[in-house]
Structure 1
């Protein structure tokens, strides 16, 4: 199969998944357990995306300036800094790490 067919198939699956969300009865979504599950899944997905984007390059594990950026952002979050400060701390740490030779 060529790439365009796979792309159209992925679009259709994405659309059907979103459409299925509208078909879920509202009373299911009002359940406190469902709210906890949805919140937990969101946090888990965000954490996994952060880990993959920080520690991977292609199919290899790497330790580079992104690790310094993540560490600086984590410290800023721990200190309850505003979001813009967290982003700037991460960007600054990555810039300094690259200046010092991290790739």
Structure 2
């Protein structure tokens, strides 16, 4: 891909993101007051965050890889279920990944 095509793609994506954000601000208030819309928007947020976590945990280029990130995510999930403070969750997950990598896995 040439540099011009790359910049054109970046600019087009930026404009699309800006237009989408602007459209969100222009939606009438009463549309958002509907309980079904509120429920749907909360579910979309969770779905997007979940897909991001899965891609970042299992993704490696165009394939799927199982390395130290997966057990670290499991430890973080357990810590969250046990209502640990967020910083503790992050430290436990990082320590798990670092320990497994130090042992040669991932």
TM bracket, shorter-chain basis: over 0.9
Q: Which runs of 5+ in 1 are unaligned?
A: none
Q: What is the RMSD of the two structures over their aligned residues, measured on CA atoms?
A: 1.0
* 1:11 and 2:14 matched: yes
Using structure 2 for the length normalisation, give the TM-score: 0.93
1:46: how far off? Answer: 0.7
The match for 2:45 is: 42
**Deviating runs (4+, > 6 A) in structure 1?**
none
* 1:87 and 2:90 matched: yes
> In the comparison of the two structures, how many residue pairs are matched?
103
Q: Which runs of 5+ in 2 are unaligned?
A: none
Query: SS state of the match for residue 15, structure 2?
Result: helix
Query: SS state of the match for residue 64, structure 1?
Result: coil
The match for 1:65 is: 68
1:32: how far off? Answer: 1.0
Deviation digits for residues 14-44 of structure 1 (CA, Å, limit 9, x no counterpart)? 1111111111100011111111001101111
Deviation digits for residues 38-68 of structure 1 (CA, Å, limit 9, x no counterpart)? 1101111111111111011100100001012
Using structure 1 for the length normalisation, give the TM-score: 0.95
Taking the aligned partners of 1:51 and 1:24, their CA distance within structure 2 comes to 31
